[in-house]
Chains A and B, each alone.
Chain A
Amino acid sequence: MTHSHQAQQLIDAARNRTATTALTDKEPHLDIAVAYDIQAEVVQARIDSGHVIVGAKLGLTSVAKQKQMNVSEPLYGWLTSDMQIDTGAQLACDTFIQPRCEPEIAFLLGSDLHGSHISAAHVLAATQFVFAAVDVLDSRFAGYSFTLPDVAADNSSSAGFSLGGTAIDPESVDLRTLGCVFEKNGQLVATASGAAVLGHPAASVAWLVRKLASRGEGLKAGHIVLSGAMTEAVAVQPGDCITARFDQLGTVEISCV
């Protein structure tokens, strides 16, 4: 465990709500596989504090974002119970360092999913419900300044998430063309459809399952998966109101305090 000090750097940053410097500043050649090992330690620290894994999230699922970061695949992180902002609850900005919000489609799995053969079809078959969701990011790196291994080690900036109040059967919606309108304080930020997420949100979840299989891991029944940002993220501060409206899935509205 030669990288424990880097995991500790990230754990401390989150606990003290103080941003730190990119790991690659000191170790420019940090390997992505090692970065995921660091992530595992960071997540284990949350579990050791009494929280449990409730699911996973994907990042860098848009081709535009991948090009911007000069990478060709998404990344993932784990969601723990302390990150849940229950439906209708407020986002307490002072529990984060530099929170940002983005709209996503969430999957609640009805059965386990693992294996290197998993496709979007398998994901849909294993999904009990889909939900409108807002992902709350909080990079532990100052100013969101990081490279791919940094953000992978930082559990893909996972910090919080909130699901909408309507559980929808995935059979009843076309997630590819499903529209999303994202607003901050009543002002339009961006619009998108589900295809913005790796062509189809279920394909994004399938990528995650295949990626996890390469590490001998998988997803479990009851896990919530945030499939990836549909639009750019917006920074939030106390007083802000974030609204993610989805066709058929309903709306997630979060007041920031």
Chain B
Amino acid sequence: MMKLSSDQSAAMALALLNARASLIAIPPFTESDPELGVAEGYAIQQHLLALLLEQGETLAGYKLGLTSLPMQELLGVDQPDFGPIFSSTIYRDGATVSVSDFIAPRVEAEIAVVLKKDLTGPHCTPAQVYQATDGLLAAIEIVDSRITDWKIKIADTIADLASGGAIALSSTLIPVDACDPRLIGMVFTKNGEIIATGAGAAALGDPLAAVAWLANTLAPLGVTLRSGSVIMTGALHAMAPISPGDTFRAEFAHLGPITLRIAE
């Protein structure tokens, strides 16, 4: 049973839209209404997505969040979440992003999947994702929260587009049959110092299974994953804080490196 009227979710979406524009965080919705959950989060997200598309943003794909067991336990859920990625927030390898464009940015390294065919749930399997995959890219995501001090519960982060900020993608698409995505190793460095390592299986056991989950979860909303979409399959390690002057580099087996620089 939805605990929000359409007007209520529209108002919350507007509050998030304003927070995105002003870069001033807002208190968590769950602070005044602890009953809000996954369904309410997506209802708000749908309103916010419509507002941003009206403003001229274009949908380039989706990001998955909460793809690791520790993160799911932290937020008291047993599934990941997702949010849209806009073309305007995609950076190239070697790009510089400015902390002043975000509220409380953090960074994580992931494997991105690019589709060459549409994928429609609700019975999408990893094998179908494999067939629909154009290739894999090395990726870094800047996550950000429009909610004060990341004090998020599940409804807050889902409403806030799964805490998405921006992404950077490598330039060489690697065919998915060149490797087992679960076993792709990754070394993440900050200013040359190793801060984490991981492998593809950290994302829901298999990055391709993560995409299948997304297709199946979008199906009841009447949404198909379109050919050409970029899907960020989830962090391979715990997210890290960033500061101006930092250089982050994620080096993936098979996929190569991706570098992102941080400015004021």
Interface of A with B (CB < 8 Å)? 63, 174, 176-181, 188, 191-196, 199, 230, 245-247
Contact = CB atoms under 8 A, between A and B. Distances in A.
Q: Is chain A's interface secondary structure helix, strand, loop, or mixed overall?
A: mixed
A247 B183 contact: yes
B194 interface: yes
Contacts of A188: 69, 201-202, 205
Contacts of B183: 179-181, 245-247
30 contacts: A176-B187, A176-B251, A177-B187, A177-B251, A178-B253, A179-B184, A179-B185, A179-B186, A179-B198, A179-B199, A180-B183, A181-B182, A181-B183, A188-B69, A188-B205, A191-B197, A191-B198, A191-B200, A191-B236, A192-B198, A192-B199, A193-B198, A194-B185, A196-B194, A196-B197, A230-B197, A245-B201, A247-B179, A247-B180, A247-B185
Given A188-B201, A195-B194, A178 B185 contact: yes
Given A174-B253, A177-B253, A188-B205, A247 B184 contact: yes
Interface of B: 69, 179-180, 182-187, 194, 197-202, 205, 236, 251-253
Contacts of B199: 179-181, 191-193, 247
Contacts of A193: 185-187, 197-199, 253
B136 to A, nearest CB: 13
A162 to B, nearest CB: 19
A188 B258 CA distance: 26
A245 B206 CA distance: 13
A180 B194 CA distance: 17
Contacts, number: 70
A199 B185 contact: no
A77 B205 CA distance: 34
B180 A191 contact: no
A169 to B, nearest CB: 16
A174 B256 CA distance: 12
B201 A181 contact: yes
Contacts of B186: 177, 179, 193
Which of the listed residues B180, B187, B205 has the most CB atoms from chain A within 10 Å of its own CB? Answer: B187
A194 B197 CA distance: 8
Report the 8 A-B pairs with minimum CB-CB distance, sorted nearest first. Answer: A179-B185, A193-B185, A179-B199, A247-B183, A191-B199, A177-B253, A195-B187, A193-B197
A63 B187 CA distance: 14
Contact of B194 (A179, A199, A245): A199
B187 A179 contact: no
A176 B197 CA distance: 10
A207 to B, nearest CB: 16
Nearest to A197: B197
A58 B201 CA distance: 26
Nearest to A186: B205
A247 B236 CA distance: 16
A177 B197 CA distance: 8
A175 to B, nearest CB: 9
